[in-house]
Amino acid sequence: MTDTAAPAIELKGISKAFGPVQANKDISIRVMPGTIHGIIGENGAGKSTLMSILYGFYKADAGEVWIHGKKTEIPDSQAAIAAGIGMVFQHFKLVQNFTVLENVILGAEDGPMLRPSLARARGVLKRLSEEYELSVDPDQLIENLSVGHQQRVEILKALYRQADILILDEPTGVLTPAEADHLFRILDNLRAEGKTIILITHKLREIMEITDTVSVMRRGEMTATVKTAETSPEQLAELMVGRKVLLRVDKAPAQPGASVLEIENLRHVDHHGVERLKGISLEVKAGEIVGIAGVAGNGQSELLEVLGGYADGTGTIRVNGAEIDLTGKHSDGQSRRARGIAHVPEDRQTEGLIMAYAAWENTVFGYHRDPHYQSGPLMNNALIKAEAQDKMTRYDVRPPNPNLAARNFSGGNQQKIVLAREIERDPDILLIGQPTRGVDIGAIEFIHQEIVRLRDKGKAILLVSVELDEILSLSDRIAVMFDGQIMGERLPAETDQTELGLLMAGVTERPDKPLIEAVDAQLDAKEAREAEQHG
Amino acid sequence: MDFATLLQVLDSTVRLATPLLLACLAGLFSERSGIFDIGLEGKMLAAAFASAAVAAMTGSVWVGLLAGIVASLFMSGIHGLASITFRGNQLISGVAINFLASGLTVLIAQDWFGQGGRTPSLMGGGRFEPITLPFAEALRGVPVLGPVYAELISGHSILVYVAFLMVPLSWFILYRTRFGLRLRAVGEAPEAVDTAGVSVIGLRFAAVAICGLLCGLAGAYLATGLQAGFVREMTAGRGYIALAALIFAKWRPWYALSACLLFGLLQAVALRYQNIDLGGITIPVQVMDALPYILTVVILAGFVGKAIPPRAGGEPYVKER
């Protein structure tokens, strides 16, 4: 790489507005060929908009795109593909009931008949797989593949279209640490072959690990472009948020008390007849945060649902020594809350809030039958509103306007509304799922502090997160789930990402074979089992 | 039941299955592209009227057929405009088309012909005549196979053969061509098609147009092949039965053939055995006429198993970030 070579991509003064919202303001950036260029920024900073413009999804209001030193118009995705740009979206754009091969050739067929295209693609795929460690069975249906493999298909799609510039949007959000490592090896190989890669992420660790150069975006503007080797996570976080941010969670050692939540041999079968919880036993003490680590879809959601009272289960759950009803009409969210179990669900938009309702209404759901909020046969709306106003101010919800519908708040502020509702009821137990998914760094700091504060008040907290960093920094004890079972418990001080990553893939002992093979073997076995169960 | 009766029932099964099959394949193309079409009925009805009216006026069934296809395509255009371009609700648009066709056909028929909402009976060149396949008469003497060939396979109008040929053709288009791959993809994951640089809107309009073409054939066959002229509501729910057959067939061409033959058989049996005497109890004709419809409900409720419709079906495509 020399500075005299033409940049693979050069954006000059790109601006884009959606109505009154200026998503991109006069953005200029140069990405040199054969490098991995990170773009980092909070949600809503305009990263995705910028990349969508580059991929022809949106038309910029102003500005120019230069590819390999030539001014290029990109009115649609076809033009982007023709210019050698490939994109791996955060939500994969795959046809679930097509084979890998069919997905790869879709839109890039050689002629009106499929057979020759499929035959050629099979050969190309074989070559690409070997070249870049991108192995995937070409005849398998997408719906039978793990997310890691699905992502490989997306990369293969781009390479099949002869992309030499690859954009990846939040590629590791759904991957296990081992899968993420594998992805980074693939990206390394691609870089070595001279491909240019743009990596969009909000994870500082990934930026530091793999990129050559990093650009930071904030509120639609490009605030800095620096060489990765010459920066630090702290500096990047500050550039992203615009103020100093505490990246570590500041907490004293836990002082666990009596056992508050005891779970024994908990099982749950979903409506497809698949057993999602296969005998979970777990204990959470007062003044303790127990973190459940695991790749999404291994039963963590179901565990929260059964505990929260909106899925049936069998087994025993005791709260402060008293058993609770797991099925029947006394098993629902309200009765659980009455027993002191507060729940911040994983998906705040469908389970935590009613998006069309005002913030003040959302601050009492689940507790709305409390006599405190009643005034005769009616709801005491004035009181609820006043309390909502107070809660929103204390939890730093912006804007602190209780009359605004929930959907008008950003992800972080929505999460704060849910947290305020659940924590303010002073529960004995807090179930909290993906507390910071889609939440800005600044708000993450606040939410983590609140969780620790609640623990220090002697509450029992069960934390489920797919973010291993979050689990490691918040938990006092870590349980790892895989395939509906707890693979083991570890203390954060005595474990590391690698060990947890192996447990998350169902590997309980450090294997002799190379790590990635062991993990792949476990995941393949799980896929096969699931394919069988779905018939 | 003797062999001759069996042949007659099967022969009429083929005739009655033909409009169902054409409409079912029409729905298949549309729904595979993600556009649910409850308006098959209306399109067939419009085509039946247009073909009968034009055939009556010109005396040429071919011009009539063309008019039927144009009428059906026009209805398809409305559905496409409403549900693809303007992202409207596909069910509502389909229902609107059914109402539109139901009212408009009778109104225009009354205005043009003054025969109480029918068209004049078609004669001679105004109808599709049965085609006698080669050697049908010569082979009639061969036991079993001879009569099957002469009665069952030979002696239908051209549209019957077209309908049955459409089955392998549809299969080929869907599973062996680039267009078919894209069409199936757009009904499952339009965003995948869009990011691959292929027009979602273009594909869906193409599918809706094919749907219009096939409904046009179905309607024209009803008025100029199966019967001799248009009468009000002559589709008699065939569009809905075709939809039921489509679900029964799990949106696959060969299964669609079996499903339509089954529904055709039910109709043929009902036509043939109007009053069944079960030793004292006579099953009234109304029950027999209702039988295909009752069985449709029973089959759909109980025997289909898990039918997974195209995943993006019914949803207008909106580009997402």
- Give chain B positions within 8 Å (CB) of A77: 194-197
The answer to whether the Cβ–Cβ distance between A107 and B319 falls below 8 Å is no
CB B94 within 8 A of CB B233: no
What is the spatial distance between Cα A354 and Cα A409, in angstroms, rounded to a whole number? 12
State residue B264's pLDDT score: 92
Q: How confident is the model at residue A442 (pLDDT cuts 50, 70, 90)?
A: confident
In the 3-class helix/strand/coil scheme, how is B233-244 assigned residue by residue? CCCCCHHHHHHH
Those residues with Cβ within 8 angstroms of residue B317's Cβ, 6 or more apart along the chain or in another chain: B34, B87, B190, B191, B194, B200, B201, B204
In the 3-class helix/strand/coil scheme, how is chain B assigned residue by residue? CCHHHHHHHHHHHHHHHHHHHHHHHHHHHHHHCCCCCCCHHHHHHHHHHHHHHHHHHHCCHHHHHHHHHHHHHHHHHHHHHHHHHCCCCHHHHHHHHHHHHHHHHHHHHHHHHCCCCCCCCCCHHHCCCCECCCCCCHHHHCCCHHHHHHHHHCCECHHHHHHHHHHHHHHHHHHHEHHHHHHHHHHHCHHHHHHCCCCHHHHHHHHHHHHHHHHHHHHHHHHHHHCCCCCCCCCCCHHHHHHHHHHHCCCCHHHHHHHHHHHHHHHHHHHHCCCEEECCEEECHHHHHHHHHHHHHHHHHHCCCCCCCCCCCCCCCCCCC
The two tokens of residue B252 are 């696959």
CB A205 within 8 A of CB A183: no
Return the residue in B193, B195, B308 with the most chain A beta carbons within 10 A, the one to mutate for interface testing: B195
Q: What is the ipTM of this complex?
A: 0.89
CA distance A105 to chain B (A): 9
The answer to whether the Cβ–Cβ distance between B189 and A113 falls below 8 Å is no
- Give chain A positions within 8 Å (CB) of B202: none
Q: Once rounded to an integer, what is the mean pLDDT over residues A5-24?
A: 87
State residue A369's pLDDT score: 85
Q: Is A94 on the interface with B (CB under 8 A)?
A: yes
Q: Which fold has domain B3-302?
A: ABC transporter involved in vitamin B12 uptake, BtuC (1.10.3470)
State residue A290's pLDDT score: 95
pLDDT higher for A328 or A227? A227
State residue A534's pLDDT score: 58
CA angle, A462 as apex, A296 and A391 as ends, to 5°?
A: 105
Look-up: residue for tokens 């093979």? A517
Lowest mean pLDDT among A82-96, A171-185, B72-86, B88-102: A171-185
- Strands A341-344 and A429-433 turn out to be parallel
Range 277-306 of A in CB contact (< 8 A) with B: none
Which of A96, A97, A106 is the closest to B196 by Cβ? A106
Residue A152 has pLDDT above 90, yes or no: yes
CB A383 within 8 A of CB A391: no
| CA-wise closest residue to B319 among A56, A82, A109 | A56
Those residues with Cβ within 8 angstroms of residue A36's Cβ, 6 or more apart along the chain or in another chain: A187, A191, A197, A198, A199, A210, A211, A212, A213
Q: How many other C-beta atoms lie within 10 A of the C-beta of residue A272? A: 9
The H or E element that residue A70 is part of is: strand A70-71
In the 3-class helix/strand/coil scheme, how is A213-277 assigned residue by residue? EEEEEECCEEEEEEEHHHCCHHHHHHHHHCCCCCCCCCCCCCCCCCEEEEEEEEEEECCCCCEEE
Q: Is A112 on the interface with B (CB under 8 A)?
A: yes
- Give chain B positions within 8 Å (CB) of A102: 181
The answer to whether the Cβ–Cβ distance between B197 and A107 falls below 8 Å is yes
The H or E element that residue A28 is part of is: strand A21-31
Q: Once rounded to an integer, what is the mean pLDDT over residues A372-401?
A: 90
Q: What is the pLDDT of residues A263-299, one digit of tens each?
A: 999 999 988 788 999 999 999 999 999 999 988 888 9
Q: Once rounded to an integer, what is the mean pLDDT over residues B149-160?
A: 89
- Give chain B positions within 8 Å (CB) of A107: 182, 193, 196-198
Q: Is A48 on the interface with B (CB under 8 A)?
A: yes
Those residues with Cβ within 8 angstroms of residue B165's Cβ, 6 or more apart along the chain or in another chain: none
Residues A447, A449, A455, A461: is their CA dihedral positive or negative? positive
In the 3-class helix/strand/coil scheme, how is A302-319 assigned residue by residue? HHHHHHHCCCCCEEEEEE
Which of B178, B195, B311 is the closest to A96 by Cβ? B311
State residue B269's pLDDT score: 87
CA angle, A450 as apex, A449 and A452 as ends, to 5°?
A: 65
Closest-CA residue of B relative to A101 is B181
Those residues with Cβ within 8 angstroms of residue A408's Cβ, 6 or more apart along the chain or in another chain: none
Which of A94, A97, A109 is the closest to B178 by Cβ? A109
How many A/B residue pairs have CB atoms within 8 Å? 74
CA distance A36 to chain B (A): 23
Q: What is the pLDDT of residues B90-113, one digit of tens each?
A: 999 999 999 999 999 999 999 999
Residues in chain A: 535
CB B93 within 8 A of CB B79: yes
State residue B1's pLDDT score: 63
Residue B38 has pLDDT above 90, yes or no: yes
Residue A1 has pLDDT above 50, yes or no: no
The answer to whether the Cβ–Cβ distance between A57 and B185 falls below 8 Å is no
Angle between helix A233-241 and helix A441-456 axes, rounded to 10 deg: 110
The answer to whether the Cβ–Cβ distance between A95 and B185 falls below 8 Å is yes
Which of A80, A87, A106 is the closest to B192 by Cβ? A106
Q: How many other C-beta atoms lie within 10 A of the C-beta of residue B304? A: 14
CB A187 within 8 A of CB A199: yes
Query: B112, exposed or middle or buried, with CB in 10 Å at 0-12, 13-18, 19+?
Result: middle
| CA-wise closest residue to A348 among A270, A408, A388, A406 | A406
- Give chain B positions within 8 Å (CB) of A117: 178
The two tokens of residue B278 are 């079960």
Give chain A's mean pLDDT: 88
Q: Once rounded to an integer, what is the mean pLDDT over residues A14-32?
A: 88
State residue A515's pLDDT score: 58
The answer to whether the Cβ–Cβ distance between B181 and A103 falls below 8 Å is no
Q: Is A106 on the interface with B (CB under 8 A)?
A: yes
| CA-wise closest residue to B285 among B272, B274, B271, B269 | B274
The answer to whether the Cβ–Cβ distance between B311 and A87 falls below 8 Å is no
CB A14 within 8 A of CB A62: yes
Q: Is B197 on the interface with A (CB under 8 A)?
A: yes
Q: How confident is the model at residue A535 (pLDDT cuts 50, 70, 90)?
A: very low
For residue B120, cis peptide bond before it (omega within 30 degrees of 0): no
CB A483 within 8 A of CB A156: no
Q: Is A80 on the interface with B (CB under 8 A)?
A: yes
Give chain B's mean pLDDT: 91
Query: B144, exposed or middle or buried, with CB in 10 Å at 0-12, 13-18, 19+?
Result: exposed
What is the spatial distance between Cα A171 and Cα A200, in angstroms, rounded to a whole number? 8
DSSP state of A349: I
The answer to whether the Cβ–Cβ distance between A113 and B176 falls below 8 Å is yes
CB B166 within 8 A of CB B215: no
CA distance B173 to chain A (A): 9
- Strands A213-218 and A221-227 turn out to be antiparallel
Which residues face A220 on adjacent strands? Answer: none
State residue A2's pLDDT score: 46
Residue A514 has pLDDT above 60, yes or no: no
Residue A66 has pLDDT above 90, yes or no: yes
Residue B216 has pLDDT above 90, yes or no: yes
- Which residue type is seen at A344? V
Q: Is A97 on the interface with B (CB under 8 A)?
A: yes
Q: Is B307 on the interface with A (CB under 8 A)?
A: no
* Most confident option among A9-23, A33-47, A150-164, B137-151: A150-164
* Most confident option among A98-112, A367-381, B264-278: A98-112
Q: Is A76 on the interface with B (CB under 8 A)?
A: yes
Q: How many other C-beta atoms lie within 10 A of the C-beta of residue A271? A: 6
- Give chain A positions within 8 Å (CB) of B175: 114
Helices in A339-380 by DSSP H: which ranges?
359-362
CB A427 within 8 A of CB A454: no
The answer to whether the Cβ–Cβ distance between B311 and A103 falls below 8 Å is no
Residue A21 has pLDDT above 90, yes or no: no
The answer to whether the Cβ–Cβ distance between A77 and B321 falls below 8 Å is no
Q: Is A78 on the interface with B (CB under 8 A)?
A: yes
What is the spatial distance between Cα B49 and Cα B118, in angstroms, rounded to a whole number? 9
Q: Buried b / exposed e across B5-30, counting CB within 10 Å, b at 16+?
A: eeebbbbbbbbbbbbbbbbbbbbbbb
